[in-house]
Structures are given as structure tokens and as C-alpha cells.
């Protein structure tokens, strides 16, 4: 007999605070990322994971065979702002538990959503090349953070997310988009500067938070199952929009910030405050 799902209990979990230890906060601020265990229960991951997976396969338009894809296209199926598509996806994305952790790690008063995205690395999917996310965002301060939520246990053969520790503080490669070139240049740079890399599996329920300027990558998925991941990108609620520096930032300004005025806060309905003290 199938177990009955207590929806109120799932919703309650998404709202309930998770205590981030002072050590975890210090680790995040020093290293530009942190991995936290037992943030979400198997029940929440299974219930919302199914909803997210259905949306990914319904909305995905990338159906070319792997051999015909670019490196970026081989890395994952990327479906954005699921919260605008489905009421239950919105419940997950609007989790106060997850937004509060982002707030505590950055040490700000509250956070807004930049956007969410599901990142599904298919079986035989390739590497995610080294990159830093904030290259893509026209946001003035470095107070941005992404929560990376694997919807299943993620051993090394599925391509867990890996981080170059303390790399958020160095101004290398900040003008490089995700590509074979970024993988080559950044792995050489990061190695020559002796950055330690954390490349470890994720348990079920474990999530990571990484800062917008922290360099990260992921290996290929050589397993026979998709590596299903949901992410939310948060920004300090007092973040401001800056003049876009490249074509990606111009596109993001229109798409994710509703072209709100440069110099002001991103206060459009696309960027709700998800947690505030
Ligand atoms: O999931 C991946 O492979 C890459 C994730 C990533 O780059 C991100 O969430 O910023």
C-alpha cells in the first residue's frame, strides 16, 4: 500500500528554520561555499522532486542527440523560473527554510529571488565547465548565493557540484562565459594559484550554497540515471541593479529583473523577498 502523504507536514518543513551553525557561516564566508547535511527530508525531496521532474520534461525543448550538442548543452537541461509555471513548484522555491539559510550565510537582513532553475544532467551528460555565476548577472554587490539541491543522492559518477575554495575573492576569469575555454583557462589558473577543490558526493538531503563569484564545476554523469537538481538564486534584498557589462547581463536585466531601473533595487514581481528578519 502506498504511504499517505501529509502535505501539511511537507509545507511545514519548507517553512521551519534550519539552524546554521556559526562554524558553517564562518566556513561559507571564508571559502565561498558550504555543504549542509539533512536540510531537506526524503519525503520533501521525493514529493517536490516528482513535480519538478514532470515540469522539466514538459517544458524542455533541448532534444538534439548528445553528439550534436555544444559543451553547454551537454552539461544539463536547464529550465528556469518553475515557480511561475506551477503552484506546487512555487511552494518549494518560496521555502523560507532555504531562504533563511541564504540570509544567515550572507549576513544580510533578507533575500529576494533572482530566479530558480532546474539543472538535469542526463545520463551521458558532459561536464559543467568551471565558471562563476555573477559574470551573467547585472548586480552591483557580491551578496548573491545559489542553493544547489540534488533531488537524489549524488555519488561521484553523477557529477556532483565541486567548488574552488576561497576563489570568490580573486579577480581571475571574471569575464569568461561557460565554455570549453572557461574550463581550460580556469582550471589552469586555479591550479597554478593552488586553490583547493572540494569535489565530493552529496548525501540525500544534503545541499550546497555557493556565492556568485565562487568558481565551480561538475563532472560528467556517467551513471545510467539523470542527475536531478533544483536551484534557487538569492540576492540580498537590498541588492541594486548595475549597468550591464556584457550581452548576457543585458539579457538577464530584461528577463529576470523585468528591466527595472539601473541603480535601483530589483523590486519587480519577478523578484519577491522570500525571507526577511
Ligand atoms: O549543476 C551543475 O552542473 C552546475 C550548477 C551551477 O553552475 C550553478 O548552480 O551555479
Mind listing the pLDDT tens digit for each residue in 99-139? 999 999 999 999 999 999 999 999 999 999 999 999 999 99
The answer to whether position 259 is within a domain reads no
Pair type for strands 161-164 and 33-36: unpaired
Confidence band for 176, pLDDT divided at 50, 70 and 90: confident
The answer to whether position 48 is within a domain reads yes
Q: Which atom of ligand 1 is nearest to the CA of 133?
A: 10
Average pLDDT, the chain: 95
What is the mean pLDDT of the segment spanning 189-198? 93
Pair type for strands 273-276 and 229-236: unpaired
**Residue 4 in this model has a pLDDT that exceeds 80:** no
Categorise residue 32: left if φ over 0, alpha if ψ from -120 to 50, beta otherwise.
left
The answer to whether position 254 is within a domain reads no
- What's the confidence (pLDDT) of residue 3? 63
The answer to whether position 262 is within a domain reads no
Q: Which of 148, 207, 220 to mutate to test the pocket of ligand 1 (most atoms within 8 A of CB)?
A: 148
- Torsion on CA atoms 7, 9, 11, 13, rounded to nearest 10: -150
The answer to whether position 227 is within a domain reads yes
C-alpha cell at 191: 591550479
Domain hosting 75: range is 21-236
* 154 in contact with ligand 1, CB cutoff 6 A: no
The answer to whether position 246 is within a domain reads no
Helices (H) and strands (E) counted in the chain, each on its own, are 8, 11
Q: Which of 33, 146, 164, 215 to mutate to test the pocket of ligand 1 (most atoms within 8 A of CB)?
A: 146
Q: Which of 128, 133, 222 to mutate to test the pocket of ligand 1 (most atoms within 8 A of CB)?
A: 128
- What's the confidence (pLDDT) of residue 2? 55
- What's the confidence (pLDDT) of residue 172? 75
What is the mean pLDDT of the segment spanning 36-53? 98
The answer to whether position 201 is within a domain reads yes
The number of distinct structural domains making up the chain is 1
Length of the chain: 277
Which CATH number does the domain housing residue 137 bear? Answer: 2.60.120.620
The answer to whether position 68 is within a domain reads yes
* 206 in contact with ligand 1, CB cutoff 6 A: no
Q: Which atom of ligand 1 is nearest to the CA of 121?
A: 3
Contacts of 19 by beta carbon, 8 Å cutoff, 6+ apart = none
* 208 in contact with ligand 1, CB cutoff 6 A: no
* 182 in contact with ligand 1, CB cutoff 6 A: no
Amino acid at each position: 500500500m502506498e504511504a499517505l502523504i501529509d502535505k501539511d507536514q511537507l509545507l511545514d518543513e519548507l517553512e521551519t528554520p534550519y539552524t546554521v551553525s556559526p562554524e558553517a557561516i564562518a566556513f561559507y564566508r571564508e571559502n565561498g561555499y558550504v555543504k549542509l547535511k539533512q536540510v531537506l527530508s526524503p519525503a520533501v525531496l521525493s514529493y517536490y522532486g516528482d513535480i519538478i521532474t514532470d515540469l522539466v520534461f514538459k517544458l524542455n525543448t533541448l532534444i538534439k542527440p548528445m553528439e550534436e550538442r555544444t559543451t553547454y548543452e551537454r552539461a544539463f537541461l536547464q529550465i528556469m523560473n518553475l515557480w511561475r509555471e506551477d503552484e506546487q513548484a512555487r511552494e518549494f522555491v518560496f521555502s523560507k527554510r532555504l531562504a533563511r539559510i541564504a540570509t544567515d550565510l550572507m549576513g544580510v537582513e533578507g533575500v529576494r529571488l533572482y530566479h530558480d532553475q532546474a539543472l538535469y544532467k542526463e545520463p551521458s551528460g558532459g561536464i559543467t565547465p568551471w565558471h562563476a555565476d555573477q559574470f551573467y548577472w547585472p548586480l552591483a554587490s557580491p551578496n548573491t548565493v545559489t542553493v544547489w539541491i540534488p533531488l537524489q543522492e549524488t555519488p561521484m559518477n553523477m557529477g556532483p557540484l565541486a567548488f574552488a575554495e576561497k576563489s570568490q575573492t580573486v579577480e581571475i576569469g571574471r569575464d569568461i562565459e561557460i565554455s570549453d575555454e572557461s574550463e581550460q583557462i580556469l582550471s589552469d589558473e586555479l591550479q597554478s594559484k593552488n586553490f583547493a577543490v572540494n569535489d565530493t558526493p552529496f548525501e540525500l538531503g544534503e545541499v550546497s550554497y555557493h556565492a556568485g563569484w565562487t568558481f565551480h564545476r561538475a563532472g560528467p554523469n556517467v551513471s545510467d540515471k539523470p542527475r536531478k537538481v533544483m536551484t534557487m538564486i538569492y540576492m540580498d534584498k537590498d541588492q541594486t541593479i548595475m549597468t550591464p557589462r556584457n550581452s548576457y547581463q543585458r539579457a538577464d536585466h530584461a528577463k529576470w529583473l523585468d528591466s527595472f531601473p539601473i541603480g535601483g533595487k530589483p523590486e519587480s514581481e519577478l523578484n519577491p523577498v522570500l525571507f526577511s528578519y
